[in-house]
Chains A and B, each alone.
Chain A
Amino acid sequence: DQQVKQNSPSLSVQEGRISILNCDYTNSMFDYFLWYKKYPAEGPTFLISISSIKDKNEDGRFTVFLNKSAKHLSLHIVPSQPGDSAVYFCAALFGNEKLTFGTGTRLTIIP
């Protein structure tokens, strides 16, 4: 039962362009959504979150959009930089308890 899905295992984007990472979920009870970035041999690092009552949250180069009717969220990175190359996980939270993760998308920024 995969409640959080990231259907693109990998994505390549030119440096300076926009990177868009997508995530779908099935459980309408989730009340927060979070994005994590993971480098090899390191733990996931929190990037940005959004409450289910919002449709957009922005932090510097990172913006997360939430479409509740479609049960879809996306992370936009503008402009993309070489240091953004990593695996990105979408995660969902219900009641300040466990995080439910997607399978991740490997983002490669091409110089």
Chain B
Amino acid sequence: DAGVTQSPTHLIKTRGQQVTLRCSPKSGHDTVSWYQQALGQGPQFIFQYYEEEERQRGNFPDRFSGHQFPNYSSELNVNALLLGDSALYLCASSRVGESNYGYTFGSGTRLTVV
């Protein structure tokens, strides 16, 4: 049973460019959340998707947007990249109403903005 799959694993982009990160949730999960983890920090919540809609959003600018597809997979898009966007981006999935049992995280996408 595959867990959460994220692609790509590493990415280098230039300041001002746009990037798309992808996530396939664990089988049976219908809710996808995205987190940003800067070096030396804990993961910070970006947003959560359920039934193809953004359910909740953290304190991130509109440059960060997302999408969830009918098969529950999700994309995170970041426009007008800044150097400060360099971080590990984590996708987590869960089944609605069961997140207290622990989200399942992917291994993340390491984004470097130069």
**Which A positions have Cβ atoms within 8 angstroms of B?**
4, 6, 31-32, 34, 36, 41-47, 49, 51, 89, 91, 93, 96-104
Contact = CB atoms under 8 A, between A and B. Distances in A.
Contacts of A41: 107
Nearest to B104: A46
Interface stretch (B37-45, B65-73, B79-87): B37-45
B4 A103 contact: no
A58 to B, nearest CB: 16
| 10 smallest beta-carbon distances between A and B, as pairs | A46-B102, A101-B42, A43-B105, A98-B45, A32-B100, A96-B99, A43-B107, A44-B105, A103-B42, A101-B43
Interface in B9-61: 33, 35, 40-45, 48, 55-56, 58
A51 B101 CA distance: 10
Contacts, number: 68
Contacts of A44: 43, 90, 105
A46 B90 CA distance: 14
A99 B97 CA distance: 13
Contact of A103 (B33, B41, B102, B108): B41
A2 to B, nearest CB: 9
B56 to A, nearest CB: 5
Given A97-B55, A98-B33, A43 B4 contact: yes
Given A49-B102, A98-B48, 18 more contacts: A32-B99, A36-B102, A36-B105, A41-B107, A42-B107, A44-B90, A45-B105, A46-B101, A49-B100, A93-B99, A97-B56, A98-B58, A99-B43, A99-B45, A99-B103, A100-B45, A101-B35, A101-B44
Contact of A51 (B42, B43, B100): B100
Contacts of B114: none
A43 B90 contact: yes
A31 B105 CA distance: 21
A97 B54 CA distance: 12
Contacts of A89: 42-43
Nearest to A41: B107
Contacts of A102: 42
Contacts of B33: 98-99
